[in-house]
Amino acid sequence: MPASLEPAVSLVQVSIRLGGMLIQNGMTFQLAAGEFVAILGPNGAGKSTLLKMLLGLLRASEGEVLVLGKVPRTGNQQIGYLPQFLNLDSMNTLRARDIVGFGLDGHRWGLGLFNRDREKKLDRILDEVDALEFSRAAFDELSGGERQRLLLAQALISDPQLLLLDEPLASLDIAHSQEVIALVTRICRSRGITVLLVTHDVNPLIAHIDKVLYLANGRSALGRPEEVITSDALSRLYGSPVEVVSSQGRRFVIGAEV
């Protein structure tokens, strides 16, 4: 298969177990390069666990997993990652640009040495996420939306081909959520990278995403939102009746924990 046609992510009959509990069973799907995919499902369905598996932090119990054509491994600079939980207290007094710089040399002791190429790259990434104007401010002076822009810049600093975002909208209000969604969409399209974004509410994303990956009850379904977020499809996933109600371009799931 030519490199341009190689799937960004490929799972074949993958099962995931944690502590002896089956989280997902027989996951089989492919994600193409450049796709923007939202990952949905109830708590405990395996959304964050799936991202950790793609990062090489966890291994599948069964099946084959390929990321960018290779078996997942830790420290892969071709993957950018924004985790759900971060200890931000230690960052409060740091400058915004220094936090982004951790994505370049955070594995080294200290804040990294100054050099012209490093600073140019930081400026380029900060400008790409519309954060250049507050890049010299202290982290604790920034709003939630501004902080998410910086953390996104940190995930992008290695110029990844795959971007994994674990609930980046969870702590944001509607206005800042829309800003982050628009930014991620722009980056996905302009860079041509694959984006997987975990969320509990697909409605703000429907106009932007290519596909939905829905995880529930140990099963998974991948497709366009209008294919997956339906009463029939979700009832099959949950193994019990689920009703999806559409109103003014939004979808509401009734009868299941979401």
188 vs 249, more confident: 188
Residue 232 lies in a domain: no
Range of the domain at 129: 89-159
6 and 71 share one domain: yes
Q: Assess whether 173 and 54 both reside in one domain.
A: yes
pLDDT in tens, 45-61: 999 999 999 999 999 99
Of 159, 174, 194, the last residue of a domain is 159
Question: Which CATH number goes with the domain that contains 67?
Answer: 3.40.50.300
Mean pLDDT over each residue of the chain, to the nearest integer: 87
Residue 250 predicted with pLDDT over 90: no
The total number of structural domains that make up the chain: 2
pLDDT at 19: 85
HSE-CB for 175 with a 13 A CA cutoff:
3
Residues 32 and 67 in one domain: yes
pLDDT at 90: 62
Q: Which carries the bigger pLDDT value, residue 108 or residue 115?
A: 115
Q: Could you read off the pLDDT of 50-103 as tens digits, one per residue?
A: 999 999 999 999 999 999 999 999 989 999 999 987 666 666 678 888 888 877
